[in-house]
Every structure is written in structure tokens, then in C-alpha cells.
Structure 1
């Protein structure tokens, strides 16, 4: 298997792993319902289920990072790098090439990634490519675990600081966490997106890319039917969603 085919194989394997993972982590609602009077946010590293978190790191996160390290050594540089969780991971190379023709775009998403894990790998997986632009979509998995909102926000701010400590001129696009078909996530995510918007308004070289408003149902805070994947997946969206991402991002990339 040559390098290109090997990369595609592992990317698609990683996507499958992310989809299985999402189903596993959405089984319990009580620990992620921020509006439940008995809810207690989670401020520890990892997941509430540490044994499954260890399996995830060993079988999904680390192998994907190893692949990215090999690919980074091969390509050396990339003008635009996408980083984040499975929503980024599912933005497969063929789709990216279609949405951003003529651009040097690299995907460094990992299914299951949280703000804390992205922070630990942003240098080796993303900044080593000396990008001019870093597009980030992250946070949904934090809220699946019921992470404390202040912790998620502080992690995001630290990610931005780490990127700009490398190069103050790097443009950072904060993509809104989109609606899903999971009620508990749709309750807390808009609060987090307001925070992302405010960060962009007050931080140089940071832009907020709104997608929640155009991906939700007209009269309901849930994912619109046109973006639902055909396999019953409640967290991720279909190719039409990535076409919308491309439409939203292209004007910013032309500035």
C-alpha cells in the first residue's frame, strides 16, 4: 500500500472509529444535561469513564497522530490547516479539495478530540506545518462529557495563545459548534458559541464563522433534516453540511 492510499485508509478508519465512539458516549444524558438541577460539571482530565478514555487514546488518538506526524514530515508546509474533533475529521480530503480549489489545505482533525487534547497536540500536528490560517471546530466532545464550561473556554483561549505565540500573524477561524440531534448539546452549545464570537471580536487575527443559524431547523434548535446523515448518526452531518462550511469559509480565505 503506497503512502497516499495508506493515508486514505487510516483517515477513513479514524472516521469510522469516531462514529462508533460518538454512539458510545451519547448513551448517558444525566451527566451532560447542564440544565438538570442535579448536574455537576466535570473538571478532571479525560472522560468520566477513564478506562474507555485510555482505550480511545491508545486505539484512536495516538495512531491517528502517528499518521499525521508521518504526513507532516512528507508535506512540510500547508497554507491552511483544519483542526478539531470528528466534525473536522469527517471533512475528508476529497471534500476539502472540492470546497477549496487551488488551496493548500490539510486536515488534522481527530474523532473524539476535546479542547484539552487538541491543546496538547496543536504544536506537533498543526503548527509544525507553518500555516497562514488555522480553522478550528472543537468543544462538542467536552460537553458530551459534561466538562465545566469555564474549563472549556479557558482551554480554547490557551489554544489561541499557543498558536499566536508561534506566529502572531496566523489567522484563526473559530467555527461555531453546529447543532446536532442531541437535546443536551443543543442547550449548551449556543452559550459556548456566543463565547467564541466574543473572543473573535476582541482578539486580533481571530474570526468567528457562524454555522449554527443556517444548519438548524427553522423553528427548532436542532439539526435541519437536509443535513442528517443516512445512518441514524445523531452528532454528525452529511456532505451538504461541508458544502455549507466551504461556502461560509471561502470569503474569509479570499481576504
Structure 2
């Protein structure tokens, strides 16, 4: 299996493992419904189900990081690096090449990643490539776990600080977390996106890319039918969604 096919395999495989472990881990709605009177946010590391979190780290997160470390040693540098969770992870190399022709673009997403786990790998997986631009989409898995909003925000700010401590001139694009077909996520994510927008407005070399409004159903806060994947997946979107990402991002990446 050549390098390109190995990366594709790990991307899809890692997302599948993460999705099974993370979603089955949080069956009780009140654990992730921020508007439920019984809701108590989760302020600890990992997932509420520690056993499944350890399985995820062992079977998906670490193997994908090993692949990235090997790939980083080969490519050494990339002008643009995407980092984040499964929504980035599934932006496959062929799609990226199609949407950003002529650009040196590298995908460093991991299915199941949260702000805290992305923070721990930012230096090795992303910054070691000395990117001029880092595109980040992260946060949805935090809210699947019912993480405390203030904790997620703190981790996001630490990610930005880590990037700019290496190089203050690195441009950071914060992608809005898009709508899904999960009611609890669609309640809290717009609040988080407002925070991302505010961070971008007040931080040098950080910009916010709005995607929520363009990907939602015109009449309700849920993913538009045109972006729904055909396999019953309620969290991710289809190739048409990535075409929209490309359309939104290209003007920024060409500056």
C-alpha cells in the first residue's frame, strides 16, 4: 500500500473507531444537553467513560499520530495545515487537492479529537511542519462529552497561544463548527461559534470563517439535507460540504 492510500485508509479507519466509541459512550441525553435541568458539565480530562476513552487513544488516536509523525519526517514542511476532529479528518487528500490546487496543504485531523487532545499534539503534528497558515475546526466532540463550555474555550485559547508562541506571524483560521443532525449539539454549538468569532475579532492573525449559516437548513438549526451523508451518519457531511469549505477558504488562503 503506497503512502497516499495508507493515509486514506487511516483517515477513514480512525474516524470509524472514534465515532463508535465516542457516540456509544454518551447515550444519556442529559449528559450532553446543556439546556437540561439535570445537566452537569464535565470538567475532567478525557471522556465520561474512561475505559472507552483509553480504547480510543490506543486504537485510533495514537496509531494516527504515528502515521502523521512518519509523514512529517518525509514532507518536512507544509505551507497550510488543517487540524481538528473527524470533520477535518474526512477532508481526504484528493478532495483537498481538488479544492486547493497548487497549494501545499496537509491534513492533520483525527477523528474524535477534542480541544484538549488537539492541544497536546499541536507541536509535534502541526507546528513541526512550520506552516504559514493553520486551519482549525474543533469543539464538537467536547460537546458530545458535555464538557464545560469555559473549559473548551480555555483550551481553544491555549491552542492559539501555542501556535503563536512558535511564530506570531502564523495565520490562524478558526472554522465555525457546522450544524449536525444531533439536537443537543445544534443547541450549544452556535454559542461556541460566537466565542470563536469574538476571539478572531480581538486576536492578531486570527480569523473566523462562518460556515454554520451556509450549512444549516434554511428554516431550522440543523444540517441542510443537501449535505447529509447517505449512510445515516448524523455527525458528518458529504463531499458537497467540503466543496463549500473550499469555496469559503480559497479567498483567505490566496491572500
Q: Is the 8 A contact 1:180 1:235 kept in 2?
A: yes
d(CA) in 1 for partners of 2:151, 2:39: 16
Corresponding position of 2:183: 183
Q: Is the 8 A contact 2:83 2:108 kept in 1?
A: yes
The 5 A counterparts of 1:74-89 are: 74-89=74-89
Shift of residue 4 of structure 1?
A: 3.1
Corresponding position of 2:56: 56
Deviations 1:193-235 (A, max 9, x none): 0000000000000000000001000010000000000000000
d(CA) in 1 for partners of 2:217, 2:71: 38
What is the TM-score when the length of structure 2 is the normalising length? 0.97
Q: From the superposition, tell whether residues 232 and 55 of structure 1 become closer, same or farther in structure 2 (CA, over 3 Å).
A: same
The 5 A counterparts of 1:32-71 are: 32-71=32-71
Deviations 1:18-52 (A, max 9, x none): 44345424532110000011110000000000000
DSSP-derived class of the 2:77 partner: coil
- Bigger shift: 194-203 or 28-37? 28-37
What is the TM-score when the length of structure 1 is the normalising length? 0.97
5+ residue gaps, structure 2: none
Cα RMSD over matched residues? 1.1
DSSP-derived class of the 2:28 partner: coil
The 5 A counterparts of 1:1-255 are: 1-21=1-21, 23-25=23-25, 27-255=27-255
Task: Report how many aligned residue pairs link the two structures.
Answer: 255
Q: Is the 8 A contact 2:85 2:111 kept in 1?
A: yes
Q: Is the 8 A contact 1:80 1:134 kept in 2?
A: yes
Q: Is the 8 A contact 1:82 1:109 kept in 2?
A: yes
d(CA) in 2 for partners of 1:8, 1:233: 19
Deviations 1:49-71 (A, max 9, x none): 00000000000000000000000
Q: Is the 8 A contact 2:25 2:52 kept in 1?
A: no
Deviations 1:52-99 (A, max 9, x none): 000000000000000000000000000000000000001000000000
d(CA) in 2 for partners of 1:38, 1:110: 31
